[in-house]
């Protein structure tokens, strides 16, 4: 009975109600049959998940599973052996799929080691990196298979203007100029083969399909994460109870890390105790106004810094353009000068966040979580405004001035990514290694640097935005991103173990994870998608290079294709759908209206559920009060009866005394007070 009574109410209730052993057994048997019949009604997948989640010992679960299997077998019409074999092989197949999928997981052991030494919040950074890696590998695979291989197999005559010099790796021009690395290396011909392979359509659809799949995957992850982590927060959540019972990280196995976590927990508990004492004094109005004005000033400064950097990049970019891109391939100096813009961008990305954290030190926030969110918001505004200015400049000025402008944009993105990678390496060296050396040897008060998860994740998001922007202009760019992520993974792990310590405040890591995924979707992915969509929809592609030569906009390939399939009757319906459904605005209005109506209904349901939770909570509190009241009343009655029973008045005859005593004995025997009576009350009030 020990393991069955995990639900405290049921076990102790049965024992205390004074049932005999046989009756208890009967009760247990009834519960088990109910459970078995419930389980056999579920679908296969849900059934096994439910069996695995039963809070019983292994042997009991196995017994239930056998009973359920027998019931399922007896319900079928096929002969027993055949059905058993089929279901057995089906289950084995599903299990082998799971184990095969696990084998494909890269870095499994490394991640276990990182989680064991540094805890789950640092592990979340590495998991995020691994997730981004999946996007890039997928993009590389489909771009390579559908676009690059046909192009290489059917390669047109591209003469290389120069041989390979070392500078290409940094700048992307020269030798790489006409290769398949960039847009210019692709050709828009229809490859004559069986069946005919239209390179224009292939290019367009591959990029479009990848973007759509990416978007769907991001939306799905975002909503799953939101559902899991942003639960209704009613009541104090960042208090002592949570910290004591829910925040201890069981996955840490390293002795030093555990000691570190224990120290942190002690410090945080002390802080929260002292905060509680301080919070008794209310903040005065003038203090609040002061804090608010400081916050406003800080925000103003940050926005000005972001605007200033954006304007600086803009002027630098236009200057470089008017510098007139010298076509002489041997002019190494002017080629190297194209690296100036990426270097300045990376410097801004490095220095301005430090300034932001300095500005942040002068503000005070009542909520430490608000501080993290505001710093994330400011950094994202900076990074996205930089990227926005760059995109604006690329899409508005470059197409008129440069002959093969898509390759130029691809090369610019390539340069930005490479320089960002180099700065990341430098950052690991200077920011973490040297800082550790300084903190431990020279200026002892600085201490070992903390691993700043937010800053690192935002850097990853920035690099991924660049990669998404660059996919249209340089289909093989994901290769570089994959290599970069691989190297950064190992270097960060090394740097973490040698130089940094895990962050001290690890609360609410799951919610910050959701925020990061949401930031990856908007503004990062949405921004990249809108830029690519604008390019495809409205800009005129260059005349001399690329798959869309001669068209008015790249989107016209779709029009040409639909015109070509309008004729033959077997493909006429595709044209019909395209022309009358996808191109008509009414369709989109209807869809938007339906989605809005469904959203409104779901929101109302959520509101209703919130009300329900509130009233249920009140019921629990009232139930507790009822219990306390009844307990008190019973204790009073007991006391009164005992007093009456023990009261013996002086002038009493022998026989009366005897009878009073026997009556008192009777009372004593009948007043059976069970101190555990409270457990016998039904819990479902």
Partner 1 sequence: MGNKQTIFTDEQLDAYQDCTFFTRKEILRLHGRYHELAPHLVPMDYTNDPDVKVPLALIVNMPELKENPFRNRIVESFSEDGQGNLSFNDFVDMFSVLSEMAPRELKAIYAFKIYDFNVDNYICKEDLEKTLNKLTKEELTPEEVNLVCEKAIEEADLDGDNKLSFADFENMISRAPDFLSTFHIRI
Token pair of 574, please? 């595709």
Residue 437, classified by CB atoms within 10 Å of its CB into exposed (0-12), middle (13-18) or buried (19+), is exposed
Phi, psi for residue 389 in degrees, rounded to 5: -65, -45
DSSP state of 367: -
Interaction between residue 86 and partner 1 (CB under 8 A): no
In the complex, the smallest distance separating the C-beta of residue 93 from partner 1, rounded to whole angstroms, is 9
Nearer to partner 1, 506 or 524 (CB): 506
- What one-character-per-residue DSSP string does 279-315 give? TTSPPPHHHHHHHHHHHHHHHHHHHHHHHHHHHHHHH
Token pair of 173, please? 């021009």
**Chain residues 89-128 in contact with partner 1, contact rule CB under 8 A:** 91-92, 95-96, 98-99, 102, 112, 115-116, 120
Nearer to partner 1, 59 or 669 (CB): 59
In the complex, the smallest distance separating the C-beta of residue 132 from partner 1, rounded to whole angstroms, is 19
Rounded-to-integer distance, Cα 487 and Cα 413, Å: 19
Considering only residues 72, 154, 508, 642, which one is a binding residue for partner 1 as defined by CB under 8 A?
Answer: 508
Interaction between residue 625 and partner 1 (CB under 8 A): yes
**Chain residues 510-549 in contact with partner 1, contact rule CB under 8 A:** 510-511
Please list the residues that pair with 190 across neighbouring strands: 198
Residue 476, classified by CB atoms within 10 Å of its CB into exposed (0-12), middle (13-18) or buried (19+), is buried
Q: 683 near 9, Cβ under 8 Å?
A: yes
Interaction between residue 279 and partner 1 (CB under 8 A): no
Considering only residues 3, 134, 224, 572, which one is a binding residue for partner 1 as defined by CB under 8 A?
Answer: 3
In the complex, the smallest distance separating the C-beta of residue 546 from partner 1, rounded to whole angstroms, is 47
Considering only residues 26, 30, 55, 572, which one is a binding residue for partner 1 as defined by CB under 8 A?
Answer: 55
Please count the residues of this chain forming the interface with partner 1, following the rule CB under 8 A. Answer: 83
x-or-dash pattern for partner 1, window 593-622, by CB under 8 A?
A: ------------------------x--xx-
Which helix (DSSP H) or strand (DSSP E) does residue 574 occupy?
A: helix 572-577
Q: 71 near 36, Cβ under 8 Å?
A: yes
Please list the residues that pair with 187 across neighbouring strands: 546
SS3 191: strand
Cβ neighbours of 546 (radius 10 Å): 25
**What is the number of alpha carbons within 13 Å of residue 578 lying toward its C-beta?**
14
- How far CA 633 is from CA of 143, 637, 682, in Å, comes to 78, 6, 18
In the complex, the smallest distance separating the C-beta of residue 279 from partner 1, rounded to whole angstroms, is 13
Interaction between residue 627 and partner 1 (CB under 8 A): yes
Nearer to partner 1, 291 or 505 (CB): 505
Nearer to partner 1, 497 or 584 (CB): 497
Residue 136, classified by CB atoms within 10 Å of its CB into exposed (0-12), middle (13-18) or buried (19+), is buried
Nearer to partner 1, 543 or 626 (CB): 626
Considering only residues 273, 362, 487, 602, which one is a binding residue for partner 1 as defined by CB under 8 A?
Answer: 273
Token pair of 427, please? 């950052």
In the complex, the smallest distance separating the C-beta of residue 254 from partner 1, rounded to whole angstroms, is 7
> Beta strand 197-198 with 190-191: parallel, antiparallel or unpaired?
antiparallel
Nearer to partner 1, 197 or 226 (CB): 226
**Chain residues 228-267 in contact with partner 1, contact rule CB under 8 A:** 228-233, 235-237, 239-242, 244-255, 258, 262-263, 265-267
Nearer to partner 1, 205 or 373 (CB): 373
Stretch that binds partner 1, among 152-160, 192-200, 226-234, 474-482 (CB under 8 A): 226-234
**Chain residues 6-45 in contact with partner 1, contact rule CB under 8 A:** 6-9, 11-12
Nearer to partner 1, 248 or 534 (CB): 248
Interaction between residue 328 and partner 1 (CB under 8 A): no
Stretch that binds partner 1, among 47-55, 575-583, 590-598, 648-656 (CB under 8 A): 47-55
Q: What is the Cα gyration radius of the chain?
A: 35
Considering only residues 28, 36, 48, 337, which one is a binding residue for partner 1 as defined by CB under 8 A?
Answer: 48
Rounded-to-integer distance, Cα 180 and Cα 170, Å: 17
Residue 485, classified by CB atoms within 10 Å of its CB into exposed (0-12), middle (13-18) or buried (19+), is buried
**Chain residues 57-76 in contact with partner 1, contact rule CB under 8 A:** 57-59, 61-62, 65
Residue corresponding to tokens 């890696």: 133
Closest residue by Cα to residue 252 from 103, 118, 386, 428: 118
In the complex, the smallest distance separating the C-beta of residue 102 from partner 1, rounded to whole angstroms, is 7
Q: 454 near 372, Cβ under 8 Å?
A: yes
**Chain residues 167-206 in contact with partner 1, contact rule CB under 8 A:** none
Residue corresponding to tokens 């077997």: 570
Phi, psi for residue 571 in degrees, rounded to 5: -110, 10
In the complex, the smallest distance separating the C-beta of residue 337 from partner 1, rounded to whole angstroms, is 49
């Amino acid at each position: 009975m020990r393991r069955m009574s995990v639900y405290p109410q049921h076990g102790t209730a049965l024992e205390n109600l004074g049932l005999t052993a046989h009756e208890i057994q009967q009760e247990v048997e009834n519960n088990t049959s109910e459970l078995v019949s419930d389980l056999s009604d579920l679908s296969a997948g849900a059934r096994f998940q439910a069996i695995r989640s039963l809070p019983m010992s292994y042997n009991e679960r196995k017994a239930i599973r056998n009973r359920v299997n027998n019931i399922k077998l007896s319900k079928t019409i096929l002969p027993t052996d055949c059905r058993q074999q089929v279901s057995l092989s089906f289950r084995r197949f599903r299990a082998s799929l799971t184990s095969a999928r696990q084998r494909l997981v890269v870095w499994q052991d490394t991640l276990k080691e990182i989680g064991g030494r540094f805890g789950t919040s640092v592990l979340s950074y590495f998991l995020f990196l691994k997730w981004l890696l999946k996007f890039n590998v997928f993009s590389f695979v489909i771009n390579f298979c559908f676009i690059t291989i046909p192009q290489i197999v059917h390669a047109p005559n591209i003469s290389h203007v120069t041989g390979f010099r070392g500078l290409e790796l940094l700048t992307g021009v020269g030798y790489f100029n006409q290769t398949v690395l960039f847009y210019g290396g692709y050709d828009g011909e229809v490859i004559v083969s069986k069946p005919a392979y239209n390179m224009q359509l292939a290019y367009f659809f591959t990029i479009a399909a990848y973007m759509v799949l990416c978007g769907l995957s991001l939306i799905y992850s975002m909503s799953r994460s939101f559902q899991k982590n942003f639960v209704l927060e009613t009541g104090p959540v960042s208090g002592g109870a949570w910290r004591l019972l829910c925040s201890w990280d069981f996955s840490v196995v390293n002795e030093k890390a555990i000691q570190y976590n224990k120290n942190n927990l002690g410090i945080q508990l002390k802080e929260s105790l002292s905060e509680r004492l301080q919070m008794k004094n209310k903040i005065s109005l003038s203090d609040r106004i002061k804090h608010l004005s400081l916050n406003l000033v800080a925000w103003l400064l940050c926005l000005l810094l972001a605007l200033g950097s954006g304007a600086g990049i803009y002027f630098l970019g236009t200057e470089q353009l008017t510098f007139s891109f010298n076509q002489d391939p041997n002019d190494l100096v002017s080629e190297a000068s194209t690296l100036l813009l990426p270097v300045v961008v990376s410097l801004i990305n490095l220095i301005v966040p430090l300034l932001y954290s300095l500005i942040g030190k002068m503000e005070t926030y009542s909520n430490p979580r608000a501080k993290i969110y505001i710093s994330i918001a400011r950094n994202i505004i900076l990074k996205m405004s930089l990227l926005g200015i760059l995109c604006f400049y690329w899409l508005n000025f470059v197409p008129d001035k440069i002959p093969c402008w898509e390759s130029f944009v691809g090369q610019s993105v390539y340069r930005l990514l490479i320089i960002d990678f180099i700065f990341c390496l430098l950052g690991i060296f200077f920011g973490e290694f040297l800082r550790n050396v300084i903190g431990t040897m020279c200026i002892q008060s600085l201490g070992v640097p903390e691993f700043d998860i937010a800053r690192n994740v935002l850097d990853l998001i920035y690099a991924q935005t660049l990669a998404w922007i660059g996919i249209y202009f340089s289909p093989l760019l994901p290769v570089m991103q994959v290599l970069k992520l691989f190297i950064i993974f190992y270097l960060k792990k090394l740097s973490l173990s040698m130089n940094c310590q895990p962050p001290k405040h690890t609360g609410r890591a799951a919610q910050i994870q959701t925020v990061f995924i949401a930031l990856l979707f908007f503004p990062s992915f949405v921004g990249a998608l809108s830029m690519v969509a604008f390019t495809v929809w409205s800009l005129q592609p260059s005349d001399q290079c690329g798959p869309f030569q001669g068209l008015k906009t790249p989107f016209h390939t779709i029009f040409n294709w639909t015109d070509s399939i309008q004729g033959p009757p077997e493909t006429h319906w595709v044209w019909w759908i395209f022309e009358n459904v996808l191109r008509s605005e009414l369709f989109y209005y209807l869809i938007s209206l339906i989605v809005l109506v469904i959203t409104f209904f779901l929101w109302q349901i959520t509101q209703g559920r919130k009300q329900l939770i509130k009233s249920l909570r009140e019921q629990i509190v009232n139930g507790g009060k009822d219990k306390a009241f009844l307990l008190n009343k019973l204790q009073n009655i007991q006391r009164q009866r005992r007093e009456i029973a023990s009261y013996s008045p002086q002038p009493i005859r022998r026989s009366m005394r005897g009878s009073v005593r026997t009556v008192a004995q009777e009372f004593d025997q009948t007043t059976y007070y069970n101190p555990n009576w409270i457990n016998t009350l039904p819990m479902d009030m």
